[in-house]
Each structure stands twice: as C-alpha cells, then as structure tokens.
C-alpha cells in the first residue's frame, strides 16, 4: 500500500528482479515493474543500476542510475480538482525522498 500526501492510498502489486552479473562483482541492476495499481497509474517501470567506483582519496563510492517511467490513468487536470497535478507532484516528492534515502544509506555504509 503506497500513500501519497493528500491522496487516497494506492494498492499496487509489483514484480522485482535483482541481477548481479557474476563477471562484474561491483555491479547490480534492480528492475521493478508494476503489475497492478487500483488507481492513478496504468503502468510503471523503475530501473536502478549501482556500480562501485574506484576509491578516490581513499574513500570508496558508487555510481547510481535510477530511471522511473510512469503512465498515468486518465486523471482530471486543471481547476479545483487537479488530481493529475497532485499525483505527479506526489510522485516527484517520492522520487526525491527515495534518492535522499539511498544517498544517506550509502554514506552511512562507507563510514
């Protein structure tokens, strides 16, 4: 159950796949595909790729690439009931929150 600020909760089902190539031990790819959502979204695909980078200045690090593609239901936009605008804003805020959480987690693990 996902909750976006100011909107009804969304019941969704996702399929996730994690791939770590055996010949590249510092690389991981995670794909998350939405199979079902009861409102707001028709489809979503989220791909995250992580690759360790060579230590610079003695500090290890990672490169992170996150791509999120969404297709929305036919949501009302404009006027007082701008549901589409609220959903898009909520999704952007969620993406920023996800990236900040990933950054904080990565920084904690390197200390």
Query: Would you kindly state where each structural domain of the chain is located, as residue ranges?
Result: 12-110
Look at 45 and 99; give whichever has higher pLDDT: 45
Asked if residues 90 and 72 have their Cβ atoms less than 8 Å apart, the reply is no
- Backbone φ, ψ for residue 74 (5° rounding): -75, 90
Q: Could you tell me which residues come within 8 angstroms of residue 104 by beta carbon, excluding any fewer than 6 positions away?
A: none
- Alpha carbons within 13 angstroms on the beta-carbon side of residue 63 total 9
Question: According to the model, what pLDDT value does residue 6 have?
Answer: 67
Q: Does the predicted model carry a pTM greater than 0.85?
A: no
Summarize pLDDT for 54-111 with one digit per residue, the tens. 877 777 788 889 898 888 777 667 666 777 777 778 778 888 888 888 888 777 765 5
Whole-angstrom distance, CA of residue 29 vs CA of residue 64 = 10
């Amino acid at each position: 159950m996902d909750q976006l600020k100011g909107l009804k909760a969304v019941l969704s089902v996702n399929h996730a796949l994690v791939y770590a190539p055996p010949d590249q031990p510092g690389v991981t790819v995670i794909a998350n595909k939405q199979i079902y959502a009861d409102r707001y979204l028709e489809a979503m695909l989220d791909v995250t790729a992580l690759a360790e980078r060579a230590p610079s200045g003695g500090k290890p690090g990672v490169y992170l690439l996150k791509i999120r593609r969404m297709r929305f239901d036919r949501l009302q936009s404009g006027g007082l009931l701008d549901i589409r605008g609220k959903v898009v804003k909520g999704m952007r805020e969620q993406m920023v929150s996800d990236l900040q959480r990933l950054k904080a987690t990565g920084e904690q693990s390197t200390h």
